């Protein structure tokens, strides 16, 4: 059996440098809230493969459904010979996503592909070109979604030219803009009306809680105000719930926390327990505007991925994993708040459910952006966590946010061990001296 060091050497000779990995350990197996590497070391998982394995790795129902489906058939292409599993996933999406109106869905492979298709659909349905996105947004790495994504390095650097008719406006970021949700929305709307023109807007696209951009939770009222403006302007309000969806934030979808019913919603990641599947779901009249054959792709809604999604949804429901996400928050938030009380480097604890973060800054320093971000300190914490066996991610436009994304089935004991390792990472990493 090769060691991680062996695999790392072999990788250097054949894997493109542009695809990097956070840790040097290679996975042997993973289940529940832990991962074991090929050297036999166990890790506590606070990453869930970037918010994918909400039901845990190799969740029993998912394994069983995938095995049964693989034995029946693996692929026909829904555009050639359709099958029930695709229809069932669309039925579940119609029931689970916010909004009690008639809905349609189309299935794809990745989050970026879902976002691209949501934009295609919104442009087709409205006959308008412009897409409004926000500061700190992350929507993917394809050409169109790079244009929608805010951060240049590493996502966009050197990869242009980018798609046109994308307009970026200010996000509500309470720690940094100090605005109420209503004021932040008024500010963003004024920018849209002045720089884009309401009549040109096909879609307003937003993550209800930003993921890669720093787990930014907009001030209350920001999302509803934008949704209301979109509706009045005849634009399609698209919620990108690719990271926040499928119980991650303590509800099936993060929009529910503010009673927002998006016209379209993009989902991926947590939908299928680790298999690649994504969807655009939304109002029937918008989705059905597109001519037959206008949407699709070879693998979109692959039957094995659909079987995994159906088993994932059953698991989320049966184990009440939205409740589990709220329990994770109840256990973790006080400990993060205690860290914030101890370390002035923590400017804010934020997030919802099992999507929690701390923003790391230079203590006492204020610049044009507000508290001065400290990405070096955040990286030191993450490194110390990795050395102690905790899979922990950073994020944020400024790279200074430490985020927690455990699988929702993580046991109380595993969560406690992970939080203890995080606390130790703070106490052992310079310059964190209380
Ligand atoms: C909010 C959001 N949108 C889109 C994407 C892109 O998804 P994928 O990596 O599956 O293309 C991500 C991935 O992190 C995401 O968090």
pLDDT in tens, 405-426: 999 999 999 999 999 999 999 9
For residue range 118-165, list pLDDT tens digits in order: 999 999 999 999 999 999 999 999 999 999 999 999 999 999 999 999
Q: Is 243 in the pocket of ligand 1 (CB under 6 A)?
A: yes
Per-residue pLDDT, 432: 60
**Could you tell me the CA-to-CA distances from 276 to 70, 155, 174, 279 in Å, in that order?**
15, 21, 34, 11
- Contact between 236 and 122 under an 8 Å Cβ cutoff? The reply is yes
Q: DSSP strand E in 47-127: where?
A: 103-108
Q: Is 242 in the pocket of ligand 1 (CB under 6 A)?
A: yes
Per-residue pLDDT, 430: 66
> Residue 129 and residue 22: Cα distance in Å, rounded?
38
Which atom of ligand 1 is found nearest the CA of 211? 16
Which atom of ligand 1 is found nearest the CA of 142? 11
Which atom of ligand 1 is found nearest the CA of 141? 11
Per-residue pLDDT, 344: 95
For 380-397, what is the mean pLDDT? 97
Which atom of ligand 1 is found nearest the CA of 212? 16
Which has more pLDDT, 32 or 285?
285
- Binning pLDDT at 50, 70 and 90, where does residue 431 land? low
Per-residue pLDDT, 281: 99
> Residue 264 and residue 253: Cα distance in Å, rounded?
13
For 393-415, what is the mean pLDDT? 98
Name the token pair of 9.
Answer: 């050497």
| Ligand 1 geometric centre to CA of 113 (Å) | 9
Question: Which helix H or strand E contains 10, and what residues bound it?
Answer: helix 4-14
Collapsing DSSP states into helix, strand and coil, what is residue 429? Answer: coil
Handedness of CA 176, 178, 179, 180 (dihedral sign): positive
CA dihedral 69→72→78→79, nearest 10 degrees, is 160
From 151, 138, 174, select the one nearest 370 (Cα to Cα): 174
From 425, 406, 416, select the one nearest 354 (Cα to Cα): 406
Q: Is 385 in the pocket of ligand 1 (CB under 6 A)?
A: no
Per-residue pLDDT, 54: 98
Q: Is 212 in the pocket of ligand 1 (CB under 6 A)?
A: yes
Instruction: Spell out the residues 6+ positions from residue 405 whose beta carbon is closer than 8 angstroms to its own.
Output: 46, 47, 48, 50, 51, 248, 354, 355, 393
Ligand 1, residues 112, 205, 238, 395: which to mutate, most atoms within 8 A of Cβ? 112
Per-residue pLDDT, 82: 98
Which atom of ligand 1 is found nearest the CA of 268? 10
Q: Is 245 in the pocket of ligand 1 (CB under 6 A)?
A: no
Handedness of CA 281, 283, 284, 287 (dihedral sign): negative
Per-residue pLDDT, 429: 85
For residue range 219-275, list pLDDT tens digits in order: 999 999 999 999 999 999 999 999 999 999 999 999 999 999 999 999 999 999 999
> Residue 251 and residue 165: Cα distance in Å, rounded?
33
Q: Is 142 in the pocket of ligand 1 (CB under 6 A)?
A: no
Per-residue pLDDT, 433: 60
pTM metric for this prediction: 0.98
Per-residue pLDDT, 38: 98
């Amino acid at each position: 059996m090769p060691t991680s060091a062996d695999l790392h050497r072999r990788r250097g000779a054949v894997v493109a440098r542009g695809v990097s990995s956070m840790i040097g350990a290679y996975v042997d197996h993973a289940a529940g809230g832990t991962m074991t590497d090929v050297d036999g070391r166990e890790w506590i998982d606070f990453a869930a493969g970037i918010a994918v394995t909400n039901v845990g790795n190799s969740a029993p129902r998912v394994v069983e459904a995938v095995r049964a489906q693989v034995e029946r058939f693996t692929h026909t292409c829904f555009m050639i010979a359709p099958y029930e599993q695709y229809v069932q996933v669309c039925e579940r999406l119609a029931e689970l996503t916010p909004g009690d109106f008639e809905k349609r869905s189309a299935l794809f492979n990745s989050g970026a592909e879902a976002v691209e298709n949501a934009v295609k659909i919104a442009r087709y349905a409205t006959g308008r070109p412009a897409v409004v996105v926000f500061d700190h947004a992350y929507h993917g790495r394809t050409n169109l979604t790079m244009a929608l994504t805010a951060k240049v390095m590493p996502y966009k650097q050197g990869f242009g030219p980018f798609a046109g008719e994308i307009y970026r406006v200010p996000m509500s970021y309470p720690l940094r803009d100090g605005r109420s949700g209503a004021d932040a929305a008024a500010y963003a709307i004024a920018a849209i009306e002045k720089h884009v023109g309401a009549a040109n807007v096909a879609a307003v696209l937003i993550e209800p809680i930003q993921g890669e951009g720093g787990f930014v939770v907009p001030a209350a009222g920001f999302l509803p105000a934008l949704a209301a403006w979109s509706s009045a302007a005849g634009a399609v309000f698209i919620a990108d719930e690719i990271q926040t969806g499928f119980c991650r934030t303590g509800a099936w979808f993060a929009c529910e926390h503010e009673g927002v019913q998006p016209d379209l919603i993009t989902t991926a990641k947590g939908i299928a327990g680790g298999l690649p599947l994504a969807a655009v779901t939304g109002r029937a009249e918008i989705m059905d505007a597109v001519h037959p054959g206008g949407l699709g792709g070879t693998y979109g809604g692959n039957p094995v991925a659909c079987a995994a999604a159906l088993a994932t949804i059953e698991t989320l429901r049966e184990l009440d994993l939205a409740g589990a996400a709220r329990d994770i928050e109840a256990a973790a938030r006080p400990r993060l708040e205690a860290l914030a009380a101890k370390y002035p480097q923590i400017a804010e604890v934020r997030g919802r459910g099992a999507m929690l973060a701390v923003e790391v800054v230079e203590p006492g320093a204020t610049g044009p952006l507000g508290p001065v971000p400290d990405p070096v300190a955040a990286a030191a914490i993450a490194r110390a966590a990795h050395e102690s066996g905790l899979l922990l991610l950073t994020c944020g436009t400024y790279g200074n946010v430490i985020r927690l994304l455990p699988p929702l089935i993580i046991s109380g004991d595993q969560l406690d061990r992970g939080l203890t390792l995080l606390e130790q990472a703070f106490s052992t990493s310079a310059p964190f001296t209380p």
